[in-house]
Amino acid sequence: GSRRLIGDIEVVSFPVSHDAVAPSGYLITAGGCRICIAIDSGEVTPTMLEAMHHADLLILESNHDRERLIRGPYPYALKQRILGPTGHLSNDQAADAVLQTWRADSVRWLWLSHLSRTNNTPKIALQSMIRRLEKAGANLAQIHVSVSPPGMGHVWDSAQLWHEPSLWEMQH
């Protein structure tokens, strides 16, 4: 990875595990807000988790529902590639990563991204993430989870960013 300053914007790249030439994720800091982009990775690495931990907005791959992929129309070799360590993150892998990067000091936005049109749907990805967060006892009143539409994507208003200790509080 590398660190670059572009005016007041800091861009830190980090390696991700994908079968491409020099695949990277990014942690972008501007105006006190941190955005982590982690897509096109077949597994979650410690470096990726570290960058994700610092994000106010996390844009994370949630490519496929594992069972839907296994039962789906893709040839066996392609299924193995997608499921492998240099393929794509499943909904469960994305949820595991989010659960490992809880921060008790802030509100957090999560955009599920890079969904397969064949092996996932926005509804499945969103329900899978919410179910896992609820099961872990996350305070869902202060987490904003959505699915990035293909193409133009989302618009994030960082003016909505505020810091509250209750985002990732475990409910007892």
CATH number for the 3-160 domain, one of 2.60.40.10, 3.60.15.10, 3.30.70.141, 3.40.640.10?
3.60.15.10
Nearest in space to 148 (alpha carbons), one of 120, 119, 110, 118 = 110
- For residue 97, name the pLDDT band (cuts at 50, 70, 90): very high
pLDDT of 46 > 50? The answer is: yes
Helix (H) or strand (E) holding 94: helix 91-100
E strand or H helix at 43: none
- Report the candidate in 50, 51, 24, 48 with the shortest Cα–Cα distance to residue 35: 51
Whole-model pTM: value is 0.86
pLDDT for the residue numbered 144: 86
pLDDT greater than 80 at residue 149: no
Cα–Cα separations (whole angstroms), residue 136 to 33, 79, 92, 99, 111: 26, 29, 13, 8, 19
Q: What mean pLDDT comes out for the span 44-59?
A: 94
Mean pLDDT of 21-26: 93
What ranges do the domains of the chain cover? 3-160
